Structure 1
């Protein structure tokens, strides 16, 4: 197979470093092959969630292997429902609230993520001790309330039980995002929304969602990178050029939220900046430019012979 080989630089300035003679980065064809390569001792470490969640329980019981869930707290995957606000129905806040109430986040975490995730309350994950706040509007799983909101919005069920149809594009990067797409289709059917799934490869998905805007709902896994200004505000801020992946390409515009984002990015005082980003979370959770469903950290799997795996979210 293909690989990258890094060899020790004996002229390195650090005394007795590096410790290893070489590191070989093995290129694998897909994520499902990582577990097999570990078991066959072809590789000693699979980082950045290279091993699918579905394999973790089994592989944790294999002698000589260990599953490591710590070390990536500064990088968090976020399962979000991206919304195209150009669509009349989705521009209605009551419809967005109905969709949020139709999603059973606990079920998603337990069934799709097999417990290796947490429910989300907003755009900043719970494992961020500086910026996260739980003081935001929430949308408990409530099918009756979701149906009532759609009725109030004027979208009554037709004779076939359907209110309207939507085009749903699940991101193809993980089994979990695709599985959530299937779940979301069923959850929306329960409230009379006919979600028609369009599955694409990675390149086609990025083009459809972030350049062509050829979607109504999309399932995305953006990564929170330790600070809302780095990776999160771009998901809801208006004025982002077309073609920028993992950004607000749903036509959402909120002048008050935009102003708050700019103010927070320009604020140097740490305490004041933190409070601004807590206000940011409240506004996003209230207006639902997107729906945050779950969050999960990167997971490593290593052989017992590998020690001192750095507890640093950017080590690799």
Structure 2
């Protein structure tokens, strides 16, 4: 999935952050970052995790600066034609990939055409409505679209990594996604991968020839920890300098420390209960019944989960778009209240009875309402949340077996929709386009982003409409209706919007108070410094 550990993390664009910060130190500098999951694959073509790390290796045309602010990156400036069909970008001169090859407007155009022609899984979803890209000269790029689009800068170009043709141009089909070699990390970013041990650590060194100048931090080390408790203890012990995504369960221990600074804020994070909605899925037929889905929604104690699972560092969710998305969040949707009596009543009225007295209701074909309930094992709080959900479902006659497993195992089950209920989360993009795309029919194919298997023609039509609605109010209205459809059909039951919590060793580094809610690069541009020893 993504944040899923997926978290499209706040580490995004450390590539920019760690550039241009004056650090007066004689000795080489190292920034040690702790996490419970680093990356799924070194290959950006089929990497659905690693949005915390990949910006250190690859550049994009534009970059996110927090909130609704977007800044130039490889593109120094841009303009759009009066008819909205042609976008012109001024590409920086003198940029090189870390293998020494040049990066010109022609290379950018080749990247975009190559991604479209080969339908590269991890990036093709961002380029809907993009028809072509051509270099006018070495520093001028033109991108043409089939219809005017509202999100060229806010979404489409944010995560289209610029890859060197010297590595990728001779690869086609399966060869693209099967490339399993550190050469896949060659890019024009500020860091170069030098060592990687899957599930343990990742080391990268500064690219001294980076176009913004040599990064002020000479070495970055990512260290992966097996549990969130181990991660928190590592920061307290001084084994690492920064934790970008702190689990709510560990926040208080860090707050109590005199050498750790904790910052929090609202972010575009959703944690949800996924209900398998695929026509090809292995879920019991009863789980497709809207009545059963409504009863499950009534049995989810969102506030209790926020209090116990996140120790209060979360708010109950109502729709798939977090409140941090501002006007795009449909604030008029009234949530289904936690009410076990109401849950039991709707099941009673629909004829779901416990005929054999074992505490589990039966479907019309006699099969019990028994469902698999999964979550990743990357964070300890997931197990606690599964226990809460399982107990409440038992109280309405639905049996579940709570099971946590590795992210890779869970992803494998999702590919074939071989599951019933999964509790997981997303750290979405700043623009709602990606979050909404997850529920389109096109994303249910192998390699797609859909984790629920949901497919609705009306929803797809609305998705296409919002993707070309250049009037902000019109686009907002369409997106509100899309949230209503998802609320009605329930491929997800949105559970909480967790606060973003970050922490760092205040005796070593300093960040601004906005550190938790902005991309790391922006935080470093605005208040980052090393603490003098």
Q: TM-score, normalised by structure 1?
A: 0.87
Rounded Cα–Cα distance in structure 2 between residues aligned with 1:145 and 1:9 = 63
Unaligned 5+ residue runs, structure 1?
A: none
Give the secondary-structure state (helix, strand or coil) at the position aligned to 1:279. helix
- What's the C-alpha RMSD, in Å, of the aligned pairs? 2.5
In structure 2, the CA distance between the partners of 1:176 and 1:243, relative to structure 1 (3 Å rule), is farther
Q: Which has the higher contact order (CA 8 A, sep 6+)?
A: 1
Moved over 6 A (4+): none
Which residue, out of 261, 266, 272, partners 1:80?
272
1:140 matched to 2:337? The reply is: yes
Kindly report which structure 2 residues correspond to 1:93-112, keeping only aligned pairs within 5 A, or say none: 93-112=290-309
State TM-score, norm by structure 2: 0.53
CA contact (8 A) 2:375 2:424 kept: yes
Note closer, same or farther for the CA distance 1:253–1:4 as it changes in structure 2 (3 Å cut).
closer
Aligned equivalent of 1:307, options 499, 510, 527? 510
Q: CA deviation at 1:3?
A: 5.0
For residue 122 of structure 1, give the secondary structure of its aligned residue in structure 2.
coil
Query: Contact 1:84–1:249 at 8 Å: present in 2 too?
Result: yes
Q: Post-superposition shift, 1:62?
A: 0.9
Is the alpha carbon distance of 1:274 and 1:192 closer, same or farther for their aligned partners in structure 2, counting shifts above 3 Å? same
Instruction: Give, in angstroms, the shift of residue 165 of structure 1.
Output: 1.1
**What per-residue deviation string (whole Å, max 9, x for no partner) do you get for residues 76-135 of structure 1?**
2x1111112353212221111110001111101011110111110011111221311221
For the structure 1 residues 42 and 289, does the alpha-carbon distance in structure 2 shift closer, same or farther, using more than 3 Å as the test?
A: closer
- 2:328 is aligned to 131
Q: Which runs of 5+ in 2 are unaligned?
A: 1-199, 362-368, 522-533
CA distance in structure 2 between the partners assigned to 1:300 and 1:245 by the alignment? 30
Partner of 2:421: 217
Q: Deviations over 1:137-188 (max 9, x none)?
A: 4210111110111122221122222112112222333222332222211111
After TM superposition, give the deviation of residue 217 of structure 1 in Å: 1.2
Question: Aligned residue for 1:46?
Answer: 243
Q: Structure 2: how far apart are the matches of 1:42 and 1:205? A: 30
Decide whether the 8 Å contact of 2:325 with 2:432 is kept in 1.
no
Residues 22 and 288 of structure 1, relative CA distance in 2, 3 Å threshold: same
Does the residue aligned with 1:69 lie in a helix, a strand or coil?
Answer: strand
Number of the residue aligned with 2:286: 89
Summarize the alignment of residues 19-58 of structure 1 with structure 2, pairs less than 5 Å apart.
Answer: 20-30=216-226, 31-47=228-244, 49=245, 51-58=246-253
> CA 1:112–1:21 in structure 2 vs 1: closer, same or farther (change >3 Å)?
closer
Q: Cα deviation per residue 1:11-45 (whole Å; 9 max; x = unaligned)?
A: 8656xx85x45343242333433322222223222
1:212-251 matched pairs, under 5 angstroms: 212-230=416-434, 232-244=435-447, 246-250=449-453
CA contact (8 A) 1:81 1:293 kept: yes
Point out the structure with max Rg over C-alpha: 2
Structure-2 separation of matches of 1:245 and 1:235? 8
Q: What SS is found at the alignment partner of 1:62? A: coil
